[in-house]
Amino acid sequence: MQIGAAGIMKLAEMICGNSPFDYFPYRSSSHLTRFFVDLDLDFVHDGSTRNIWVRDALKQLNSIPALQDNLPAPGIIKAIEYLLHPDHFMLFEKLDRGKAIEAVKTCLKTYDLTLAEQSNGKVTVCPVQGEFVSTSHEVTPTERLITFKPSVFNVPNKVQNDRLVSVMMPFNIAFRGTYDAIKEVTDYMGLQCLRADDIWNNTTIIQDIFDLIYCAKVVVVDFTGRNPNVMYETGIAHTLGKTVIPITQSLDDIPSDLGHHRALKYLPNEQGYKELCSDLHRRLKVLFGDNS
């Protein structure tokens, strides 16, 4: 898809910081060049009228074929997302990032596009019917994506929590030691760890479970005993594209369809929980980084 001429002109005025979009950073000639250079785009301002020059640069980007039918060209997406980067709105009191985000959303709405606001403050351009919630990808993939609306539960009006580890396991006292071991690791790393019985935000438990999976960066699932609820919850996590860490007391409990996923095996005793802590810590360090 392509952004129309009116939309391109509005985006050009926003990049320039011209009235009525003076709550965006004002960019002079050299700063306009820097804006595109930061995006690895070879546009150098030639001294002509700023907004017209930016408009023409955006028109070139807009003419490049899109990678998906319901999204604009990659260069346009990069420009919009970079335009709203939080760092651009620091230090200057007259700037208003909230108003800037709403202005861009209004501009994009005409083209059935919107912005998904991430927990780290950055935004992602996406179709109005869905936003990218998968955590197993560092960046939004360029291949074909799908959007859908569940019928059994509601999609929560919440942002994803990049520090949340959700745990799916049987509600059984026998798994208290396992959950305590997981919590010990997440507490040590400064992460948040929750399972459904830690919260009561909805009238149905399946909605609380879906919310936990939806908002999490990582989902730990315990296949021990082949609990059908855990299998169902694992399917939800995989469908949402979440990073899933399987754990189990017996590898025989992992269904054949999931046998290709590496699992952390542990024993339900003091030494087993210590080894689970060690293995899980190593895995989470990879996913969250050494600064966790």
Whether residue 240 is contained in a domain is answered as: yes
Residue 210 shares a structural domain with residue 257: yes
C-beta neighbour count of 75 within 10 angstroms: 20
Least confident of 51-65, 78-92, 126-140, 273-287: 126-140
Whether residue 278 is contained in a domain is answered as: yes
The full 3-state SS of 210-270, as one line of letters, equals: HHHHHHCCEEEEECHHHCHHHHHHHHHHHHCCCEEEEEECCHHHCCHHHCCCCCEECCCCH
Pick 159 or 23 by higher pLDDT.
23
Residue 46 shares a structural domain with residue 113: yes
Cα separation, 268 vs 260, in Å, equals 24
User: pLDDT band for position 128 (50/70/90)?
Assistant: confident
Residue 172: phi and psi, rounded to 5, are -145, 135
State the residue range of the domain holding 258. Answer: 164-288
Domain tally for the chain?
A: 2
In the chain, the percentage of residues whose pLDDT exceeds 70 is 93
Residue 138 in tokens: 């560092």
Cα separation, 220 vs 70, in Å, equals 33
pLDDT at 80: 96
pLDDT at 140: 62
pLDDT at 157: 80
Whether residue 148 is contained in a domain is answered as: no
Residue 283 shares a structural domain with residue 178: yes
Residue 121 shares a structural domain with residue 19: yes
Last residue of a domain, one of 101, 127, 153: 127
Residue 185 in tokens: 């690791």
User: pLDDT band for position 145 (50/70/90)?
Assistant: low
Last residue of a domain, one of 77, 111, 127: 127
Find where tokens 């596009």 sit.
Answer: 113
Q: Is 211 in contact with 202 (CB distance < 8 Å)?
A: yes
Is the pLDDT at 144 greater than 70? The verdict is no
C-beta neighbour count of 253 within 10 angstroms: 16
User: pLDDT band for position 291 (50/70/90)?
Assistant: low
Residue 178 shares a structural domain with residue 270: yes
Is the pLDDT at 253 greater than 90? The verdict is yes
Whether residue 119 is contained in a domain is answered as: yes
Is the pLDDT at 132 greater than 70? The verdict is no
Residue 192: name the closest of 172, 220, 232, 155 by CA.
220
Whether residue 139 is contained in a domain is answered as: no
CATH number for the domain including 278? 3.40.50.450
Residue 51 shares a structural domain with residue 114: yes
Residue 161 in tokens: 């929590």
Q: Taking residues 27-41, report their average pLDDT.
A: 93
Whether residue 192 is contained in a domain is answered as: yes
Last residue of a domain, one of 109, 127, 145: 127
135, amino acid identity? T
Cα separation, 71 vs 66, in Å, equals 7
Residue 173 shares a structural domain with residue 122: no
Whether residue 133 is contained in a domain is answered as: no
pLDDT at 119: 66
User: Which one-letter DSSP state was computed for residue 155?
Assistant: P
Residue 107 shares a structural domain with residue 217: no
Whether residue 142 is contained in a domain is answered as: no
Residue 240: name the closest of 164, 134, 160, 144 by CA.
134
